[in-house]
Amino acid sequence: MGLKMKKSIKIIATVLPLFFSGIISYAQLIYKSDQFDRVIEEKKGDVQILEGLSKEQLNIFKPHITSYFKTLEYNYKDSLYLFSTEINKKVQDIAESIYNANQDRFTQKPFFILSTSDQPNAFCDFNGIMVVNTGLIELVDDEHQLAFVIAHELAHFILKHAETSMSKALGVLGSSEFKGKIKEIKRMEYNKVKKFENLMKDLAIKTSSHSRELESDADALAVELLKNTRFNLSKAIKVMEVLEEVDWFYENVQYNLSALYGTSEFPLDNIFLTDPDKGFSFFQQQTEKEKKLQDSLHTHPDCAERYKTLQGSISNDSKTSNEDELFSNIKELSADITLKRLLKKRALAYSYSRILYLEKNQNWAKEYQVYKANIFNQFSEAQKKHRLNSLCPKKSPNMPEAFKEFVVFIHNQSVKDFAKHALVHILNTPIELLSKELADDIKQAFEVCEDEALKIKVASHYKRKFLDFNF
């Protein structure tokens, strides 16, 4: 064990600096795997959850299953999934530790997929396909917390919760009350769509209150699954506290705007924060009832409550693990991969807000200054071509309040302002973190920025590392 671990520490230690200096780029990571193709084909041909359903029931559920597999395949083709990294190995190792200690509970061995999605989430489907997002891994504090999430998802699989939810949904859909309501809506002349949507929302709320029971069952089994493993239960269940604060990126944006731009060099003009068409915002017309509805459908309900229940169910665990230091590298790598994917998708404002959050909370994130300069140059280009709104939509559904202010801020910047932001970020980058790739960003910003004093400062800062840099 000791020897094996030393070896993997060494691999990570060599991979990480390469990763950050841009030698391993996002494009060079591995997105294809023969095993994935084979497993998905196999699972598609053997959907046990559909066995024993009537023809009418199959008509309802088969399309869902088909579109579920289509989504997996689409994501795979779109390079959302990642293979063969140190993160894959870690997730596999944690999952296998749990599986090996509890083999008798499983009817088949689960198949693990690492997704580069930014959503702090993981799930295990009815067929034993489990997806873990890098957006979750970057958030958890240690491998014990990640182990809890994985164990919880495996518990859903073992307890056949997909089947339970399906038969409950069948019950509601097949009830005379539901059928009657559908008939009623069909007879209506107006507002059919709206009425139908409301009926479906109602159904979602009913099903989510069912699923709360299932959640606590899965939590309880997760604790059992972890008992015979190396993971520390007291540490593991703390993941609930982490998930409770899931909106952090956005809140941080609001906090940081004045800290970032309220300096003498870069005064934060209040005019930047005023939305000229505020009065027409669709989102402000939301009723209290609609807001409540959204809350009750929140992805991670009752985390704080679940944490308390879990705390009561375990005794203080004093197991120690020497993998914690190793895990901080996995977190870092996950955050970088998630961010690179968002940048590739040009989710720029969101990427920027993540960077601000990471900089505030993780000391390694100081390396992200270089991304910020690039983001502002991309905004500048878009503003010049009057395409800022497609790159950073002013209005989109469910945009959090804190993030709206930031988007307004972005929209109030001129092409020159963006160039200035880019240059200030380069000036703030510690000399040892300056990279050759920044030269293009500097040149691009120099063409637009009119602040000659700032340009001289940036040039001499960059030349301290790259003597041969020409303007």
Report the interface residues with Zn ion, using CB under 5 A: 215, 218
Q: How far apart are CA 90 and CA 325, in angstroms?
A: 13
H/E run at residue 454: helix 452-463
Buried b (16+ CB within 10 A) or exposed e, 220-241: ebbbebbeebbbbbebbbbbbe
The distance in angstroms from the start CA to the end CA of the chain is 54
Q: How far apart are CA 106 and CA 104, in angstroms?
A: 6
CB nearer to Zn ion: pick between 76 and 148: 148
CB 424 within 8 Å of CB 461: no
Provide the minimum distance between the beta carbon of 158 and Zn ion in the complex, in angstroms, as a whole number. Answer: 12
Provide the minimum distance between the beta carbon of 99 and Zn ion in the complex, in angstroms, as a whole number. Answer: 18
Provide the minimum distance between the beta carbon of 315 and Zn ion in the complex, in angstroms, as a whole number. Answer: 24
CB nearer to Zn ion: pick between 209 and 258: 209
Report CA-CA distances (Å) from 458 to 266, 413, 448, 464.
15, 21, 14, 10
Provide the minimum distance between the beta carbon of 231 and Zn ion in the complex, in angstroms, as a whole number. Answer: 18
CB nearer to Zn ion: pick between 296 and 396: 296
Provide the minimum distance between the beta carbon of 168 and Zn ion in the complex, in angstroms, as a whole number. Answer: 15
CB nearer to Zn ion: pick between 176 and 299: 299
CB nearer to Zn ion: pick between 168 and 195: 168
CB 74 within 8 Å of CB 311: no
Which two tokens mark 93? 């190792």
Provide the minimum distance between the beta carbon of 240 and Zn ion in the complex, in angstroms, as a whole number. Answer: 12
CB nearer to Zn ion: pick between 162 and 199: 162
CB nearer to Zn ion: pick between 122 and 388: 122
CB nearer to Zn ion: pick between 158 and 356: 158
Report CA-CA distances (Å) from 429 to 265, 372, 378, 458.
16, 10, 18, 10
Nearest to 400 by CA among 298, 306, 302, 279: 298
Provide the minimum distance between the beta carbon of 215 and Zn ion in the complex, in angstroms, as a whole number. Answer: 5
Which two tokens mark 63? 């399309």
Provide the minimum distance between the beta carbon of 76 and Zn ion in the complex, in angstroms, as a whole number. Answer: 24
Residue 470, Cβ neighbours under 10 Å: how many? 8
CB nearer to Zn ion: pick between 144 and 372: 144
**β-strand pairing of 81-82 with 122-124:** unpaired
Report CA-CA distances (Å) from 120 to 73, 131, 176.
21, 11, 39
Q: How far apart are CA 165 and CA 168, in angstroms?
A: 5
CB 130 within 8 Å of CB 257: no
Provide the minimum distance between the beta carbon of 226 and Zn ion in the complex, in angstroms, as a whole number. Answer: 15
Residue with tokens 């949507």: 197
Which sign does the torsion angle of CA 124, 91, 86, 22 carry? positive
Provide the minimum distance between the beta carbon of 214 and Zn ion in the complex, in angstroms, as a whole number. Answer: 7
CB nearer to Zn ion: pick between 86 and 153: 153
